[in-house]
Amino acid sequence: MSHTTLLTITLLLFGAYFAWLAWAMRHRTRVLQGRWWFFLRAFFPNWKFYHAVGRPPRLHVRGQQASGEWTDWQLVYPRSQRALWHLFHNAPVNLALNHQNLVDHLAADINDLPEGGDIQASVTYPLVARLARLALPSEGAPYQAYQFELRLASPRGEAPERMLQSPVLAA
């Protein structure tokens, strides 16, 4: 087989592969579920980053002080000061982003919950509860109880929609 023929076949195969990808992007594909799929999803990345604006879930928390008074609801969302050296070491920010992923996971778990299912039985729920507890502002401490909410925010300024409200939890 000549070099030109081989090159043409290779390019055609690549063309077919990217055409198939383009087709797959426009069609709904089957969602694979199961524990192993969950843990090994990194082997099947969909490479869709920031593709749709949507209504992202946001965690809010409030605490009940020793006097019995509740604080206002506070948004728990990672914000940080930028520094160039973070390009090489950015552990606190990456951890905060990981915690925000937990919030996204909880929203996904709620959406996938079967009829009559209990979200509190999920693994994500107690982890988010811990995140909420740790996010209570130190100036109001000590707290005797706290409560968190998951709200669907609107980047376009519409009113947020409550997705979940936890019971009052002991701090």
Partner 1 sequence: MTMSAVAQEAMAALSLGVFVRAFELLLGWSLLLQTLEQWHIQRLDRVSDWSVQRQEVPTQPTGLLALTDALFARPGPYLAMLGLRGGLAVLLMAGLLPAAGAVALFAIALLLLLRWRGAFNGGSDFMTLAGLTGLLIAHTWGAWAGMAEGWRAGLWYVALQSITSYFVSGWVKFSRAEWRSGAALPLFLDTGVYGPLAPDSVFRRPAVARLASWSFTLWEGCAPLVLLDPRIAALFCTVAALFHFLVFWFFGLNRFFWAWVATFPAVMYAAWA
- Does 87 help bind partner 1 (rule: CB under 8 A)? yes
Torsion sign across C-alpha atoms 37, 40, 46, 50? positive
Shortest spacing between CB 165 and partner 1, in angstroms: 20
Question: HSE (CB half, 13 Å, CA atoms) of 163?
Answer: 22
Beta bridge partners of 152: 57, 161
Rounded least distance, CB 168 to partner 1, Å: 20
For the chain, percent helix, then strand, then coil, each to nearest 5? Answer: 45, 20, 40
What is the Cα–Cα distance from 141 to 66, expressed in whole angstroms? 8
Q: Is 62 in the site for partner 1 (CB under 8 A)?
A: no
CA distances from 87 to 79, 90, 144 (A): 16, 7, 40
In whole angstroms, the minimum distance from the beta carbon of 74 to partner 1 comes to 17
Which residues in the 91-110 window bind partner 1 by CB under 8 A? 91-99, 101-102, 105
| Residues 108-147, mask of contacts with partner 1 (x by CB under 8 A) | ---------------x--xx--xx--x-------------
Please say which residue, 3 or 67, places its beta carbon nearer to partner 1.
3
Identify the residue among 3, 26, 27, 28 touching partner 1 (CB under 8 A): 26
Phi-psi region of 80 (alpha: psi -120 to 50; beta: other; left: phi over 0): beta
Residue numbers of the site for partner 1 (CB under 8 A)?
A: 11, 14, 17-18, 21-22, 25-26, 35-36, 38-43, 45-53, 56, 78-82, 86-99, 101-102, 105, 123, 126-127, 130-131, 134, 155-156
